[in-house]
Amino acid sequence: MDFHQTGIHGLILITPKLIADHRGTFTETYNKRQMEALGLQYTFVQDNEVHSRFGVIRGLHYQKGAAAQAKLVRVISGIILDVAVDLREDSPHYLRVFSVELSEANRHQLLIPAGFAHGYAVLSEAAVVLYKVDNYYSRDDEAGIHPLDPKLQIDWRLAPASMLFSEKDLTWPYATAH
Protein backbone atom coordinates (compact mmCIF):
# COMPACT_ATOMS: atom_id res chain seq x y z
CA MET A 1 0.00 0.00 0.00
CA ASP A 2 1.12 3.52 -0.75
CA PHE A 3 0.36 6.23 1.82
CA HIS A 4 0.08 9.86 0.66
CA GLN A 5 -0.11 12.94 2.91
CA THR A 6 -2.98 15.29 2.02
CA GLY A 7 -1.61 18.44 3.61
CA ILE A 8 -3.93 18.10 6.61
CA HIS A 9 -2.36 16.34 9.60
CA GLY A 10 -3.70 12.80 10.00
CA LEU A 11 -5.78 12.80 6.80
CA ILE A 12 -4.12 10.24 4.51
CA LEU A 13 -4.88 8.96 1.04
CA ILE A 14 -4.03 5.27 0.66
CA THR A 15 -3.61 3.41 -2.61
CA PRO A 16 -3.54 -0.37 -2.26
CA LYS A 17 -1.44 -2.31 -4.73
CA LEU A 18 -3.32 -4.35 -7.31
CA ILE A 19 -2.08 -7.79 -8.34
CA ALA A 20 -3.63 -8.96 -11.60
CA ASP A 21 -3.34 -12.08 -13.69
CA HIS A 22 -5.49 -14.16 -16.04
CA ARG A 23 -7.79 -15.15 -13.13
CA GLY A 24 -8.62 -11.62 -11.99
CA THR A 25 -7.22 -9.33 -9.31
CA PHE A 26 -6.16 -9.32 -5.68
CA THR A 27 -5.88 -6.24 -3.47
CA GLU A 28 -4.91 -6.01 0.19
CA THR A 29 -7.12 -3.16 1.44
CA TYR A 30 -6.00 -3.03 5.06
CA ASN A 31 -2.82 -4.00 6.86
CA LYS A 32 -2.57 -3.06 10.54
CA ARG A 33 1.19 -3.73 10.65
CA GLN A 34 1.89 -1.32 7.77
CA MET A 35 -0.27 1.37 9.34
CA GLU A 36 1.37 0.99 12.74
CA ALA A 37 4.83 1.24 11.12
CA LEU A 38 3.74 4.73 9.98
CA GLY A 39 2.48 5.65 13.45
CA LEU A 40 -1.18 5.14 12.52
CA GLN A 41 -2.68 3.42 15.57
CA TYR A 42 -6.29 2.41 14.86
CA THR A 43 -8.35 -0.54 15.99
CA PHE A 44 -11.34 -0.73 13.70
CA VAL A 45 -14.43 -2.18 15.38
CA GLN A 46 -17.15 -1.95 12.75
CA ASP A 47 -17.55 -2.02 8.95
CA ASN A 48 -20.38 -0.09 7.29
CA GLU A 49 -21.56 -0.62 3.71
CA VAL A 50 -23.75 1.94 1.93
CA HIS A 51 -25.50 1.61 -1.45
CA SER A 52 -26.57 4.90 -3.06
CA ARG A 53 -27.71 6.15 -6.45
CA PHE A 54 -26.45 9.01 -8.59
CA GLY A 55 -26.75 12.44 -7.01
CA VAL A 56 -27.00 11.28 -3.41
CA ILE A 57 -25.02 13.44 -1.00
CA ARG A 58 -24.49 11.90 2.42
CA GLY A 59 -23.12 14.05 5.20
CA LEU A 60 -21.46 15.94 6.54
CA HIS A 61 -21.52 13.65 9.61
CA TYR A 62 -19.40 13.10 12.69
CA GLN A 63 -19.57 11.70 16.22
CA LYS A 64 -18.84 14.00 19.17
CA GLY A 65 -16.72 13.59 22.30
CA ALA A 66 -15.79 10.10 23.44
CA ALA A 67 -17.80 8.64 20.53
CA ALA A 68 -15.63 10.37 17.89
CA GLN A 69 -14.64 8.04 15.07
CA ALA A 70 -11.76 7.60 12.69
CA LYS A 71 -12.84 6.17 9.33
CA LEU A 72 -11.15 4.29 6.52
CA VAL A 73 -13.33 4.85 3.44
CA ARG A 74 -13.25 3.03 0.10
CA VAL A 75 -15.52 2.40 -2.86
CA ILE A 76 -16.47 -1.14 -3.88
CA SER A 77 -18.29 -0.06 -7.05
CA GLY A 78 -18.96 3.26 -8.71
CA ILE A 79 -17.46 6.71 -8.10
CA ILE A 80 -17.84 9.18 -5.25
CA LEU A 81 -16.44 12.54 -4.32
CA ASP A 82 -15.32 11.98 -0.73
CA VAL A 83 -15.16 15.06 1.51
CA ALA A 84 -13.56 15.58 4.93
CA VAL A 85 -13.75 18.79 6.98
CA ASP A 86 -11.26 19.38 9.80
CA LEU A 87 -13.25 20.25 12.96
CA ARG A 88 -10.30 20.11 15.35
CA GLU A 89 -10.34 23.62 16.81
CA ASP A 90 -6.63 23.45 17.71
CA SER A 91 -5.67 22.46 14.15
CA PRO A 92 -4.01 24.97 11.82
CA HIS A 93 -6.40 23.54 9.20
CA TYR A 94 -9.61 24.13 11.20
CA LEU A 95 -12.63 24.09 8.83
CA ARG A 96 -10.40 23.26 5.85
CA VAL A 97 -12.12 21.02 3.31
CA PHE A 98 -10.36 18.16 1.55
CA SER A 99 -12.05 16.27 -1.28
CA VAL A 100 -10.91 13.40 -3.45
CA GLU A 101 -12.49 11.07 -5.95
CA LEU A 102 -12.67 7.49 -4.71
CA SER A 103 -13.68 4.84 -7.19
CA GLU A 104 -13.72 1.18 -7.98
CA ALA A 105 -11.15 1.93 -10.70
CA ASN A 106 -8.61 4.00 -8.73
CA ARG A 107 -8.94 1.91 -5.51
CA HIS A 108 -7.98 4.94 -3.40
CA GLN A 109 -8.98 4.94 0.26
CA LEU A 110 -9.21 7.92 2.59
CA LEU A 111 -8.13 7.58 6.22
CA ILE A 112 -10.02 10.21 8.19
CA PRO A 113 -9.00 10.72 11.82
CA ALA A 114 -11.45 11.53 14.60
CA GLY A 115 -12.32 15.22 14.68
CA PHE A 116 -13.44 15.48 11.06
CA ALA A 117 -16.87 15.75 9.51
CA HIS A 118 -17.29 13.37 6.56
CA GLY A 119 -19.57 13.19 3.57
CA TYR A 120 -19.66 12.16 -0.06
CA ALA A 121 -21.50 12.65 -3.33
CA VAL A 122 -22.28 9.79 -5.71
CA LEU A 123 -20.99 10.73 -9.17
CA SER A 124 -21.74 7.43 -10.97
CA GLU A 125 -25.11 5.79 -11.67
CA ALA A 126 -24.75 4.01 -8.32
CA ALA A 127 -22.03 3.40 -5.77
CA VAL A 128 -21.24 1.02 -2.96
CA VAL A 129 -19.13 2.58 -0.21
CA LEU A 130 -17.45 0.57 2.54
CA TYR A 131 -15.90 2.20 5.57
CA LYS A 132 -14.31 0.97 8.75
CA VAL A 133 -14.70 2.92 12.00
CA ASP A 134 -12.69 2.72 15.22
CA ASN A 135 -15.60 3.50 17.55
CA TYR A 136 -19.19 2.33 17.68
CA TYR A 137 -22.01 4.57 16.48
CA SER A 138 -23.75 6.54 19.23
CA ARG A 139 -27.09 8.16 18.38
CA ASP A 140 -26.67 10.55 21.33
CA ASP A 141 -23.32 11.77 19.97
CA GLU A 142 -24.32 12.10 16.33
CA ALA A 143 -23.74 15.53 14.79
CA GLY A 144 -23.31 17.16 11.42
CA ILE A 145 -22.76 20.24 9.32
CA HIS A 146 -25.15 21.40 6.61
CA PRO A 147 -23.75 19.98 3.34
CA LEU A 148 -24.37 23.25 1.47
CA ASP A 149 -22.73 25.50 4.07
CA PRO A 150 -21.52 28.49 2.01
CA LYS A 151 -18.54 29.05 4.32
CA LEU A 152 -17.11 25.64 3.35
CA GLN A 153 -17.58 26.23 -0.41
CA ILE A 154 -17.74 22.51 -1.22
CA ASP A 155 -18.02 21.79 -4.93
CA TRP A 156 -20.00 18.54 -4.85
CA ARG A 157 -19.53 18.25 -8.65
CA LEU A 158 -23.27 17.82 -9.18
CA ALA A 159 -25.87 20.12 -10.69
CA PRO A 160 -28.17 21.44 -7.92
CA ALA A 161 -31.19 19.73 -9.53
CA SER A 162 -29.37 16.35 -9.29
CA MET A 163 -28.53 16.61 -5.57
CA LEU A 164 -30.41 14.21 -3.29
CA PHE A 165 -30.22 14.77 0.49
CA SER A 166 -31.84 13.27 3.54
CA GLU A 167 -34.12 15.72 5.33
CA LYS A 168 -31.97 15.25 8.42
CA ASP A 169 -28.77 16.33 6.64
CA LEU A 170 -30.43 19.59 5.59
CA THR A 171 -31.25 20.39 9.24
CA TRP A 172 -27.62 20.34 10.45
CA PRO A 173 -26.21 23.76 11.41
CA TYR A 174 -23.62 25.65 9.40
CA ALA A 175 -19.95 25.31 10.35
CA THR A 176 -19.98 28.71 12.04
CA ALA A 177 -22.18 27.15 14.73
CA HIS A 178 -19.38 24.72 15.72
Catalytic residues: 61, 131
Q: What is the 3-state secondary structure (H, E, C) of 71-122?
A: EEEEEEECEEEEEEEECCCCCCCCCCEEEEEEECCCCCEEEECCCEEEEEEE
Q: Which residues contact 138 (CB under 8 A, 6 or more apart)?
A: 63, 67
Contact call for residues 1 and 40 (beta carbons, < 8 A): no
Report phi then psi at 65, rounded to 5: 55, -135
- The length of the chain is 178
Residue 174 DSSP one-character state:
P
3-state secondary structure of 171: helix
Q: Rounded CA gap, 171 and 175, in Å?
A: 12
Alpha-carbon gap, residue 45 to 91, rounded angstroms: 26
